[in-house]
Chains A and B, each alone.
Chain A
Amino acid sequence: MLATHPETFEIMTKHNINLFHGTKFDALHNILNYGMNSIDELSKKGITISTGERWSRTNGKRDFISFTDDLDTALGYASIQNSQDKQNNSDFSILIGISSDDVKQMKTCSVHSEVPEIGVMNNVPLEYIKFIAVPENKVEYVRKLVNNPNINVTSIDMNDKFYYIDDMDTIYYNTSKIKELMEEKEKAKTFDSESVKKLAEGRKKSGILDVYRKIKNKIKNLINNRDKNR
């Protein structure tokens, strides 16, 4: 396998991560809260389906979650643009990895597809997710969101091409590509401290207090609802 990012490659080999699912960041929230669910399972459980998950419904009923051992195929799925992406550039591709060792404990099904795919029926619990790869400039952000020591968040270039090798001794790290990725990260436009400070300077006290109260009340309501449901 051509590994452009040594850390990513090491995580994959260390945890025997060899099955991948490509999706969009928009779907991550549900995944972190409920594990991976098929589109039909989400509907059954009454969980709001995100834009990232919704597109797969175009292929009809989906009561399984598709995984592939072909990294290129998974990256292809992760990079699929839906029609709403033109108005929404805040969504980005993510790649989720699990180990084939764990699949034995899940209910699987075969998938009639042109690409090498297996289907996991209904649900993949969060504890089986070992790896989430995102673009380099989103790693730190997603690490904060995931906040799970059992899930490795690392970077991957979604436009990269991968191929398999059998012999671990011939692992080849493309150093120029690594450099290129780092340079891209440097160039990526982000908001820095000055930019946020400028925004903050234009605010007024009543607005700040108002939003603080709104958030506080919402948290209070959530806690009350949870207590009632117990």
Chain B
Amino acid sequence: MIQVNDICKEVLIILSYFNDDLIKKIPTRVFKKLSELSVGSKIELYIDTEKDLDKQNISEESKDLISLIYYNFIADENEKNRLMKLWNDNENIYQEKLREKYNVDNIFQNKTQESKSLEKTHLPNTAMTKYKKETLFYKIKNFIKYILNKN
């Protein structure tokens, strides 16, 4: 799991690639706090400015923090409302996918199917043979057979 100081360092590095108009909109206190929180981070980044920001090799947490900075200091009111709705929609889609993946019914359904297929595969090999209990009669019969064969 990525540490907070690494997230802050990654975000600080990305901010150094923002154009001046964007930088001017972000309050100085944000830079100061990020700088304070990034103490001890040894993270180094290679920023490929030919690629979009969302394609940069940075952590998901850093992308979230950059988005939060955008929401708070760069976006206008309309943009903020639109973003909030998008974040909620994305959350719902994500939760729905999680529900599908970890649905309890699906797990049992899958288990039943799995066990059925297992049975099909292994039944011929593991079929049980009928066990005949040796009665007194059989014991005497087998003993006589043994004596006769011996002679």
Q: Is the CB of A144 within 8 A of B44?
A: no
Q: Is the CB of A205 within 8 A of B90?
A: yes
Q: Is A103's CB within 8 Å of the partner chain B?
A: no
Question: A140-161, CB under 8 A of B: which get 1 and which 0?
Answer: 1100110100000000000000
State in angstroms the CA–CA spacing of A212 and B145 once bound together: 88
Q: Is the CB of A201 within 8 A of B83?
A: yes
Query: With a CB–CB cut-off of 8 A, which chain B residues contact A91?
Result: 44
Q: Is the CB of B35 within 8 A of A215?
A: no
State in angstroms the CA–CA spacing of A25 and B93 once bound together: 41
Query: With a CB–CB cut-off of 8 A, which chain A residues contact B83?
Result: 200-201
Q: Which single member of A25, A212, A219 contacts B68 (CB below 8 Å)?
A: A212
* With contact pairs A88-B44, A90-B13, A140-B23 given, residues A202 and B54 touching in the complex (Cβ less than 8 Å): yes
Q: Which single member of A84, A191, A199, A214 contacts B4 (CB below 8 Å)?
A: A214
Q: Is A198's CB within 8 Å of the partner chain B?
A: yes
Q: Is B144's CB within 8 Å of the partner chain A?
A: no
Number of interface residues of A (CB under 8 A): 46
How far in angstroms is the closest Cβ of chain B from A54? 11
Q: Is the CB of B71 within 8 A of A202?
A: no
Query: With a CB–CB cut-off of 8 A, which chain B residues contact A144?
Result: 23, 26, 28, 31
Q: Which single member of B14, B16, B49, B53 contacts A198 (CB below 8 Å)?
A: B53
How far in angstroms is the closest Cβ of chain A from B126? 47
Query: With a CB–CB cut-off of 8 A, which chain B residues contact A203?
Result: 63-64, 67, 87, 90
Q: Is A197's CB within 8 Å of the partner chain B?
A: yes
Q: Is A192's CB within 8 Å of the partner chain B?
A: yes
- Report B57-110 residues with CB < 8 Å from chain A CB: 60-61, 63-68, 70-71, 74-75, 79, 83, 86-88, 90-91, 93-94
Question: A203-230, CB under 8 A of B: which get 1 and which 0?
Answer: 1111110111011001100100000000
How far in angstroms is the closest Cβ of chain B from A14? 24
* With contact pairs A88-B46, A141-B18 given, residues A199 and B63 touching in the complex (Cβ less than 8 Å): yes
Q: Is A48's CB within 8 Å of the partner chain B?
A: yes
Q: Is the CB of B67 within 8 A of A90?
A: no
State in angstroms the CA–CA spacing of A195 and B101 once bound together: 32
Query: With a CB–CB cut-off of 8 A, which chain B residues contact A190?
Result: 17-19, 49
How far in angstroms is the closest Cβ of chain B from A161? 26
Name which residue of chain A comes closest to B33, CB basis.
A219
* With contact pairs A144-B26, A191-B14 given, residues A215 and B4 touching in the complex (Cβ less than 8 Å): yes
- Report A169-187 residues with CB < 8 Å from chain B CB: none
- Report A77-103 residues with CB < 8 Å from chain B CB: 84, 87-92
Q: Is the CB of B66 within 8 A of A196?
A: yes
Name which residue of chain A comes closest to B32, CB basis.
A147
Q: Is the CB of B4 within 8 A of A218?
A: yes
How far in angstroms is the closest Cβ of chain A from B112? 32
Query: With a CB–CB cut-off of 8 A, which chain A residues contact B63?
Result: 199, 202-203
18 A-B interface contacts by CB (under 8 A):
A89-B46, A90-B45, A92-B16, A140-B20, A141-B23, A189-B50, A191-B19, A193-B21, A197-B70, A199-B52, A199-B70, A200-B67, A202-B90, A206-B94, A208-B71, A211-B7, A215-B8, A215-B37
Binding site for A on B (CB under 8 A): 4, 7-8, 12-24, 26, 28, 31-33, 35-40, 44-47, 49-50, 52-54, 60-61, 63-68, 70-71, 74-75, 79, 83, 86-88, 90-91, 93-94
Closest 4 CB pairs of A and B: A189-B49, A88-B44, A200-B67, A204-B90
